[in-house]
């Protein structure tokens, strides 16, 4: 997987998607905000991400 130019959150979510992860269960803290922001971004687009 090429992660050049991706944020850590984007790279993590792409890796999870490539591994077949469909759901993420977590108790988010403030350090997770980049992940949640990236999850919210694609709504309305064709990109599928684990939710």
Identify the pLDDT of residue 29: 75
Q: How far apart are CA 42 and CA 48, in angstroms?
A: 8
pLDDT tens-digit map of 1-51:
787 888 888 898 889 889 999 888 877 677 888 888 877 776 556 666 665
Identify the pLDDT of residue 20: 92
Identify the pLDDT of residue 2: 80
Of the candidates 51, 43, 47, the one whose C-alpha atom is nearest the C-alpha of residue 21 is 51
């Amino acid at each position: 997987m090429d992660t050049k130019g991706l944020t850590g959150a984007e790279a993590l979510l792409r890796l999870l998607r490539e591994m077949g992860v469909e759901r993420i269960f977590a108790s988010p803290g403030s350090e997770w905000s980049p992940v949640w922001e990236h999850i919210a971004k694609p709504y309305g687009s064709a990109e599928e991400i684990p939710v």
